[in-house]
Structure 1
Amino acid sequence: MLKSVEMFAGAGGLAMGVSLAGFESLAVVERDRWACDTIRENQNNGYPLVNGWPLWAGDVREFNWASIPEDIDLVAGGPPCQPFSMGGRHKAFGDERDMFPVTVDVVRRLKPKAFIIENVKGLTRSSFSNYYQYILLQLEFPEVARRDGETWAEHLKRLQEEKTSGALHSCGLTYNVVPTLVNAADYGIPQKRERVFIVGFRSDLGAEWSFPVATHSFDALLHSQWVSGEYWQHHNVAKKKIPAIHSRHENRVRKLAAELLPPQEKPWRTVRDALVDLPDPRDEGAKHFRNHFFQDGARVYTGHTGSPLDLPSKTLKAGAHGVPGGENMMVKEDGSVRYFTVRESARLQTFPDGYTFHGAWGEAMRQLGNAVPVALGRMVASSVAEQLAIIQLRQLKRQSNRKMA
Structure 2
Amino acid sequence: MPTITFNGVSKSFGANTVIKEFNAEVPDKDFLVLLGPSGCGKSTMLRMIAGLTEITAGELRFDDTVVNDLSPKRRNIAFVFQSYALYPHMKVRSNIAFPLVMDNFRWWHHIPIVGGLARRAILKRADVAEKVDAVAAMLELTDYLDRRPKALSGGQRQRVALARSLIRDPAVYLLDEPLSNLDAKLRSQMRAAISALHARVRKTFVYVTHDQVEAMTMGTRIIVLNDGVVQQYGTPKEIYDRPANTFVATFIGSPPMNVFLAEAGADGLRVGDHVLPGSRDAAERVISRGSAMIRLGVRAEKIAIHPGDATGENLIEARVAVVEHLGAETIVGFALEGTEGVNVVGAASTSGLFYARLTGEVPLSVNDPCRVGFALDAVTWFDHASGRRVEL
Structure 1 length normalisation: TM-score? 0.23
Query: Relative contact order (C-alpha < 8 Å, sep 6+): which is higher?
Result: 1
* Higher percent of residues as strand: 2
Of the two, which has the highest radius of gyration?
2
Structure 2 length normalisation: TM-score? 0.24
